[in-house]
Amino acid sequence: MSNGRRARKMKHRHFIREWNAVRSISRICRIGAAATLMLTLVPLLGTAPAKAAASRLKDLVMVEGVRENQLVGYGLVVGLNGTGDTLRNAPFTQQSLEAMLERLGVNTRDAQNVKTDNVAAVMVTADLPPFARQGSRIDVNVAAMGDADDLRGGVLLVTPLLGADGEVYAVAQGPVAVAGFSAQGEAGSITQGVPTSGRIANGAIVERELAFDFSSLDRLRLALRNPDFTTARRIAEAINDRLGGPVARMLDPTTVELQRPLGYMGSMAELVTRIEQVEVVPDFPAKVVIDDRSGIIVMGADVRISEVAIAQGNLTIRISENPQVSQPGALSGGKTRTVPRTQIEVDTGQDRRLAVLSDAVTLQDLVDGLNALGIGPRDMISILQAIKAAGAMQAEIEVM
């Protein structure tokens, strides 16, 4: 073999060895980079935010048609210890009393100067629960209409309770339980609670049922208590996953429609019991709720603030009067006089500094920043409204 061929062959072997070495180093670098990336992700995964709490479907929605109905009635409470209506001031009480006595066979139309303060005209209200059956009992509320002072010790006479259609659905009667009381003397009085309203537990008997065949329905609607597009979509997906088919669909942010699956032999009531325990993570918009009367502020966790500078200061003027008595010396002929002394303090809030909130701060950062200014809830309400007016708050403000 010539020297030239031998040199070229050795050079080729040297190139192959260098290429294999480069491949090995590259593989080691990739493994090292992957290991570095994993070490970087481990603490990030460890500090990932916790998953939002899930709620049961029965706590997020209401089933269409399954609701209460309001009932109302007018009646008389008797047996009051001189704390009822004054008949000359409440003519409806006298008319009701005379009509009731006539139904019982007592004629008082020709009686002169009928006086009794042991009777009070009342309004009776109740809520008829869904699927209430005939003969079941419900609670009723009683409230005075006239100038009665106290309903303690009174008994409600038979009172029909009407629905919105004018039909009688229940009849109420029984002793009234009053939580408040009132006591009065010649020089003062004391009142605790509201003694002119009370409650009768199980005081009404259901006489008419609402016709609603729930079990035979082929489809029903679920109404969200807090309307939201994302929550409605998650509810439909969770129901479909539980039942194994496309039986639920979102109609709007308030309504999810549920259809009986093909071949399902159970009733609609049984189908609802299968899905009401499904857990769904609800979503809600960022919102700040303000009650200006009580100074209450409630902020959602998703409230975000863009970079903004805040300063707050109040002009406070305190005026205090400390009059002093000037006493003249003996035998001076002077008179004792009151000399006014007024002290005025002005606080311009010069110690308040400008605070800067960085971009996209969290709710905790916002609270810490506002607390650092040393302000109270009233001033905080004004600051939040000013931040919103400046366009730096990505949330809705609702003033109650």
Q: Are 154 and 173 in contact (CB under 8 A)?
A: no
Span 315-343, mean pLDDT?
Answer: 65
Residue 19 has pLDDT above 50, yes or no: no
Q: What is the per-residue pLDDT across 258-279, written as a single tens digit (0 to 9) for each?
A: 998 888 888 888 889 889 999 9
Query: With 60 as the cut, is the pLDDT of residue 45 above it?
Result: no
The answer to whether 162 and 72 have CB atoms below 8 angstroms apart is yes
Q: pLDDT (tens digit, 9 = 90+) per residue, 191-212?
A: 777 889 999 999 999 999 888 8
The pLDDT of 115-129, averaged and rounded, is: 91
State the pTM of this model: 0.64
- Tokens at residue 124, please? 């009776």
pLDDT at 385 over 90: no
Beta bridge mates, 50 = none
Among 75-84, 166-175, 306-315, 376-385, the range of highest mean pLDDT: 166-175
Dihedral, CA atoms, 277, 281, 286, 291, nearest 10 degrees?
30
Stretch (H or E) spanning 365: helix 363-372
* pLDDT band at residue 238 using 50, 70 and 90 as cut-offs: very high
| Per-residue confidence (pLDDT) for residue 295, from 0 to 100 | 76
Model confidence at 27: pLDDT above 80 = no
Using alpha carbons, list the distances in angstroms from residue 233 to 39, 56, 228, 252: 37, 15, 9, 9
Instruction: Write the CA distances from 314 to 105, 255, 385, 387, integer angstroms.
Output: 75, 48, 17, 18
**Pairing of the two strands 189-192 and 181-184:** antiparallel
pLDDT band per the 50, 70, 90 thresholds, residue 32: very low
Phi, psi values for residue 204, rounded to 5°? -130, 145
pLDDT for res 104: 85
Closest of 301, 215, 325 to residue 264, by C-alpha: 215
Residue 186: DSSP 8-state: S
Per DSSP, the three-state class of 396 is: strand
pLDDT given at position 77: 94
pLDDT score recorded for residue 12: 52
**Chain-centre distance for alpha carbon 275:** 25
* pLDDT recorded at residue 229: 93
